[in-house]
Amino acid sequence: MIHRIPSGTRDVLPDEMRELRAMTDRVRGVFERAGYGEVYTPALEYENTFQRADMSATRPAYRMFDEHGNVFVLRSDMTVPIARLVASRYAQAEPPHRFSYFAHAYRGVRPQRGQSREFLQAGVELIGAPAPDGTAEVLSILCAALDAAGLRTYRIGVGDASLYPSLLEAVGVPGNRRERILTELVTGDFVGLEQELQSLPLADDALELLLRVPGMRGGPELLEGASGTLREAGTGMRTLHALLAPEVAERIIFDFGLVRSLGYYTGAVFQVYDPAYGVPIGSGGRYDELLGRFGAPLPAVGFALNVERLHIALTGEERGLA
């Protein structure tokens, strides 16, 4: 007799589990050797913990009540629980703090899309280490983790969440128009972006710049080629690039159009790609203001890999799709 499980969840059987376990053990070794001790936090948190973080894209989808009427949520990522943990348990400790995790997160799904309600994330958070050094450290761990997992052809897109907003400000786009423009950029609608920009009274060169930047992606030559306002906006990425070891730098695609919809990102943002798989397999970035919302103002950076997607990309590479 067949008993159903909720859509977006699944059973893992021994053959798959062995492969997943072997892969995550290799990744765990990288995290441990780099000094990122593993933590686990409850899958349930108080709703106001996540409300404090104020993020639009990954708002928790599942709520429940306890016997006193308190509202719990199923965590939608691990970054917010770790921010809470650092603020409450490491208030007296000397930063930086280094943590890793292998934990499930829970998000709402759209029907018929193959999305997961429950998915395993493997990630690190480096708290109390500002840009650019902290960012460079986390990027090098990200590469080491992907190498250890067994991926060969992965690349990491690196952008800056503040780049496009600062360009909009520099060319004098009024604040109330910026949000719609950024929405078009986040959703990847370059046609809509062009329509929004053309409806503004912008000088020709400003319009040209704002239209060109979202499509700019490539190697470090992109950073060197920039001039004027754009060069200034790209300073963060340039200093970051200078700190990266060659084996990390060769994996990076600088991406001026990369913005993340997660509300708490402030500076560098990353996304992990593999040619063997059509969707990103992990992401991360700097969230220098998040800890402050928990009363422990510390700059921070981290990433999370989606373990299931990592496994799909790995099998894809083995089948020669890359």
Is there a contact between 44 and 84 (Cβ–Cβ < 8 Å)?
A: no
Asked if residue 255 binds other proteins (CB under 8 A), the reply is yes
Shortest separation between residue 129's beta carbon and other proteins, angstroms:
27
- Which region, judged by CB under 8 A, interacts with other proteins, from 75-83, 169-177, 199-207, 269-277? 269-277
Residue closer to other proteins, measured from CB, 134 or 157: 157
Q: Helix, strand or coil for residue 117?
A: coil
Residue 215 touches other proteins, criterion: CB under 8 A: yes
Per-position x/- string for 192-211, each x denoting binding to other proteins as judged by CB under 8 A, each - no binding = x-------------------
Least Å from the CB of residue 126 to other proteins: 25
Give, in degrees to the nearest 5, the angle at Cα 298 between 75 and 79: 15
* CA distances (Å), origin 279, targets 55, 115, 141, 244, 291: 22, 12, 21, 25, 29
* Binding flag, residue 278, other proteins (CB under 8 A): yes
Are 72 and 65 a contacting pair, CB within 8 Å? yes
Per CB under 8 A, the list member of 88, 108, 279, 297 interacting with other proteins is 279
Cβ–Cβ < 8 Å for 104, 16: no
Q: How far is CA 14 from CA 27, 148, 309, in A?
A: 20, 22, 18
d(CA 256, CA 232): 13
The answer to whether residue 110 forms part of the interface with other proteins (CB under 8 A) is yes
Name the minimum Å distance from CB 245 to other proteins. 21
Tokens of 129: 């280490």
Residue 93 is a binding residue for other proteins (CB under 8 A): no
Residue 277: its H or E element: strand 277-286
Tell whether residue 189 is a contact of other proteins (CB under 8 A). yes
Q: Which of 94, 191, 201, 221 binds other proteins (CB under 8 A)?
A: 191
- Give the one residue of 253, 289, 308, 312 binding other proteins; rule: CB under 8 A: 253
Q: Return the residue of 59, 177, 217, 238 that touches other proteins, per CB under 8 A.
A: 217
Strand partners, 155: 273
Which CB sits closer to other proteins, 207 or 253? 253
Cα dihedral sign, 34-83-280-132: negative
β-strand pairing of 252-255 with 217-218: antiparallel
**Binding-residue pattern over the window 143 to 162 for other proteins, x denoting contact by CB under 8 A:** ------------x-x-----
Residue 31 or 273 with smaller CB distance to other proteins? 273
Question: Minimum Å distance from CB 72 to other proteins?
Answer: 27
Single out the residue of 122, 77, 125 nearest to residue 102, CA to CA.
122
Q: Smallest distance from the beta carbon of 221 to other proteins, in angstroms?
A: 12
**192 token code pair:** 């809509």
- Interaction between residue 62 and other proteins (CB under 8 A): no
CB 74, CB 60: distance < 8 Å: yes
Q: How many residues at the interface with other proteins, by CB under 8 A?
A: 22
Taking CA atoms, 196 is separated from 167, 181, 193, 299, in Å, by 15, 6, 5, 34
Among 95, 130, 263, 280, binds other proteins (CB under 8 A): 280
Contacts with other proteins by CB under 8 A lie at 110, 113, 155, 157, 188-192, 215, 217-218, 253, 255, 271, 273-275, 277-280
